[in-house]
């Protein structure tokens, strides 16, 4: 009996077919959300004794309410969650009532039955939470995209927002020429895979880009962000949010803010360059401001230099920086800017 001879070309063809089938199955699994984690599982993993849940306009909000005294609302960045404020909240709660929540698409807050993941919807839900908690007036601390919600709250509800803190805030108009995020792009396949599944290494790399050495993201944050990134339904909700995001007219909005405002920025911030801090101050024409920039610090300064950030924010909220607040005067008429 003679052994059949398999030609090398057939071996290659079989290998290609098997590889193609494997890739096809993998792609189908990714697209179907096979690597996703149900919200109930994340809640079992990350809810703490301080976690509270409240239905606000059909959305199950995850929030924490700690301490006593003048109220302070903390609003986190995109791709983050309320736990990033743990250290800040613990310090502020010594003299304040500190409220923080997971915004839509983030942490343990449930999906929106309206499929409305806009900044305006986040602002309405945030204000709804404060109403339900019976908090009539409060200060707001917002960072990155949370800063957009913060300054819009301060503009629309000047009588309720007593003080405003913006940390590396987003919200300025962007173009291809002014966006500091214009980095080298991966190929189409890599983008497709990453949109559906992020490895822990990729999550850490994304965080590393926003920390400045010697500062680095703590391992607990890498682990939690990795798990939260894989939350079921998050990809679709994020796509809707990005597709519908508009900056609006921040200059007109900031002109409506009357609350004293503290602006904190990292000079080495690669995501929102520090010159935007000066624009924020320039456009806050009806609010006294104090601007501080930190050397050797990036986008997440409240995690990179927590002690300094907490001290500065605490001093501002207590009024100890009031003598250093400045008012911006805008010229009107020919030559105005």
Domain assignment present for residue 246? The answer is yes
Per-residue pLDDT tens over the stretch 23-61: 344 333 333 344 799 999 999 999 999 999 999 999 999
Domain assignment present for residue 330? The answer is no
* CA dist., res. 6 & res. 136, Å (int): 80
What is the gyration radius of the CA atoms in the chain, in angstroms?
Answer: 23
Domain assignment present for residue 333? The answer is no
Structural domain including 127 reads 40-172+198-324
Per-residue pLDDT tens over the stretch 100-113: 999 999 999 999 99
Domain assignment present for residue 14? The answer is no
Q: Is pLDDT of 332 > 50?
A: no
**Cβ contact 264:312 at 8 Å:** yes
In 3-state terms, the chain is what percent helix, strand and coil (to 5)?
Answer: 40, 15, 40
Domain assignment present for residue 191? The answer is no
Q: What is the CATH number of the domain that holds 124?
A: 3.40.50.1820
Domain assignment present for residue 22? The answer is no
* Greatest distance between any 2 Cα atoms in the chain: 101
User: Quick one: pLDDT at residue 65?
Assistant: 98
- Overall number of domains in the chain: 1
* CA dist., res. 279 & res. 301, Å (int): 19
Domain assignment present for residue 241? The answer is yes
Per-residue pLDDT tens over the stretch 86-104: 999 999 999 999 999 999 9
Which pTM does this prediction carry? Answer: 0.84
Domain assignment present for residue 189? The answer is no
């Amino acid at each position: 009996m003679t052994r059949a001879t398999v030609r090398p070309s057939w071996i290659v063809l079989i290998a290609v077919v098997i590889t193609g089938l494997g890739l096809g199955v993998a792609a189908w699994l990714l697209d179907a959300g096979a690597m996703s984690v149900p919200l109930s599982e994340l809640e079992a993993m990350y809810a703490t004794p301080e976690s509270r849940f409240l239905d606000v306009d059909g959305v199950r909000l995850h929030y924490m309410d700690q301490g006593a005294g003048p109220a302070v609302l903390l609003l986190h960045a995109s791709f983050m969650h309320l736990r990033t404020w743990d250290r800040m909240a613990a310090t502020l709660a010594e003299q304040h009532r500190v409220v923080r929540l997971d915004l839509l698409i983030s942490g343990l807050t449930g999906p929106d039955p309206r499929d409305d993941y806009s900044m305006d919807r986040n602002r309405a839900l945030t204000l709804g939470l404060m109403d339900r908690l019976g908090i009539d007036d409060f200060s707001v601390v917002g960072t990155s995209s949370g800063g957009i919600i913060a300054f819009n709250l301060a503009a629309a509800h000047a009588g309720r927002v007593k003080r405003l803190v913006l940390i590396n805030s987003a919200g300025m108009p962007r173009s291809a020429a002014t966006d500091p995020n214009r980095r080298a792009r991966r190929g189409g396949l890599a983008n497709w895979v990453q949109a559906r599944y992020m490895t822990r290494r990729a999550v850490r790399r994304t965080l590393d880009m926003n920390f400045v050495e010697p500062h680095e993201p703590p391992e607990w944050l890498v682990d939690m962000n990795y798990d939260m990134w894989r939350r079921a339904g998050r990809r679709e909700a994020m796509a809707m949010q990005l597709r519908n995001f508009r900056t609006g007219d921040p200059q007109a909005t900031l002109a409506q803010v009357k609350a004293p405002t503290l602006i904190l920025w990292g000079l080495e911030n690669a995501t929102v360059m520090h010159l935007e801090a000066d624009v924020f101050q320039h456009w806050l024409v009806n609010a006294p401001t104090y601007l501080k920039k930190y050397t050797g610090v990036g986008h997440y300064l409240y995690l990179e230099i927590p002690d300094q950030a907490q001290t500065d924010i605490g001093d501002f909220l207590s009024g100890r920086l009031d003598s250093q607040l400045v008012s911006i005067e805008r010229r009107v008429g020919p030559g105005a800017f």
